[in-house]
């Protein structure tokens, strides 16, 4: 039986760029981490997580070095030239070949960015807090590629069908809109929920809008809901104690 263990980015970039999100399928972890959990900080047996990481790494070039993050829902970006211990940040970029930039998610939005010529890559852990505090804009501003040569793929995140937030979250995003011309589009990212004072938020649409506002126009992906698809994805909001998917991007030498 073949299982869909990776979902590959669909975008028009150099074939030297590899980007994918893992699913929860095909690993060795037991419930509630079943089965392909790649995170060490969620309470899973560390030996099983290590086995899952080895399973993944064996499928790819042995020349790859892997850089992980300790994610804190902030807006800091690290520029990486060599793999080392996990760094505290929510976004990572590199121009070095064979260096895999990793973020872990279970509902938050993974944003993959590539220089279309294959010279530079980045990946971002973007929950609503990171989005609101500018993690996407910070990452793009640290990249040396001109904005017109950047492409973005939005990996699997919780969809607007399931991501309910309080009115204060909507207020934060509306207050941060820099040009009044974007206000109606930002308002459209929040649909009134059946619960009084709550909204169903569209992380994909928010990310697209904020990318558009800084001039990034080649954006693909955003077709999944991690909460809806229990078979394929971990979802923190659905399950609480659960595993994490890996979102990885690298330049092949
Ligand atoms: Zn959903």
Q: Mean pLDDT, consecutive 10-residue segments, the chain of 253 residues?
A: 88 98 98 98 98 97 97 97 97 98 98 98 96 97 98 98 98 92 96 97 97 97 97 97 98 96
Query: Quick count: other Cβ atoms within 10 Å of Cβ 187?
Result: 14
Residue 163 lies in a domain: no
Q: Is residue 53 part of a domain?
A: yes
135 within a domain of the structure (yes/no): yes
- Enclosing H/E stretch for 174: helix 167-176
Asked if residue 100 is part of any domain, the answer here is yes
Distance 163 CA to ligand 1 centre (A): 7
Residue 72 lies in a domain: yes
Is residue 32, in this structure, part of any structural domain at all? yes
Q: For residues 209 and 205, give the distance between their C-alpha atoms in angstroms, rounded to a whole number.
A: 6
Using the mean position of ligand 1's atoms as its centre, give its distance from the Cα of residue 60 in Å.
31
Whole-number Å distance between alpha carbons of 51 and 20: 19
> What is the pLDDT, as a whole number, of residue 1?
55
pTM (2 decimals)? 0.97
| pLDDT at residue 136, as a whole number | 98
Distance CA 251, CA 253 (A): 6
Q: Does the residue 148 lie in any domain?
A: yes
Domain range holding 64? 6-158+216-251
Give distance in angstroms: CA of 232 to centre of ligand 1. 13
| Number of domains comprising the chain | 1
Residue 81 CA, ligand 1 centroid: distance in Å: 37
In a domain, 185, yes or no: no
Specify the CATH number for the domain of residue 26.
3.60.140.10
């Amino acid at each position: 039986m073949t299982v869909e263990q990776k979902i590959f980015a669909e975008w028009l970039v150099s074939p030297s760029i590899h980007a994918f999100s893992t699913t929860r399928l095909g690993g060795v972890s037991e419930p509630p981490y079943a089965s392909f959990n790649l995170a060490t900080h969620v309470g899973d047996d560390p030996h099983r997580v290590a086995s899952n990481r080895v399973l993944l790494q064996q499928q790819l070039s042995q020349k790859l070095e892997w850089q992980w993050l300790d994610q804190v829902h902030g807006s800091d970006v690290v520029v990486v030239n060599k793999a080392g211990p996990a760094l505290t940040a929510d976004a990572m970029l590199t121009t070095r070949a064979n260096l895999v930039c990793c973020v872990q998610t279970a509902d938050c939005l993974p944003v993959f960015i590539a220089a279309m010529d294959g010279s530079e890559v980045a990946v971002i852990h973007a929950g609503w807090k990171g989005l609101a505090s500018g993690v996407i804009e910070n990452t793009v501003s640290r990249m040396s590629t001109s904005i017109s040569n950047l492409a973005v793929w939005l990996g699997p995140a919780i969809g607007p069908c399931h991501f309910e937030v309080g009115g204060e979250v909507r207020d934060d995003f509306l207050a941060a809109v820099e040009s009044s011309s974007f206000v109606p589009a930002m308002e459209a990212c929040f649909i009134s929920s059946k619960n009084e004072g709550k909204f169903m938020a569209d992380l994909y649409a928010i990310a697209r809008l904020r990318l558009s506002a800084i001039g990034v126009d080649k954006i693909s992906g955003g077709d999944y809901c991690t909460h809806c698809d229990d078979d394929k994805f971990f979802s923190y909001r659905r399950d609480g104690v659960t595993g994490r998917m890996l979102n990885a991007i690298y330049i092949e030498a």
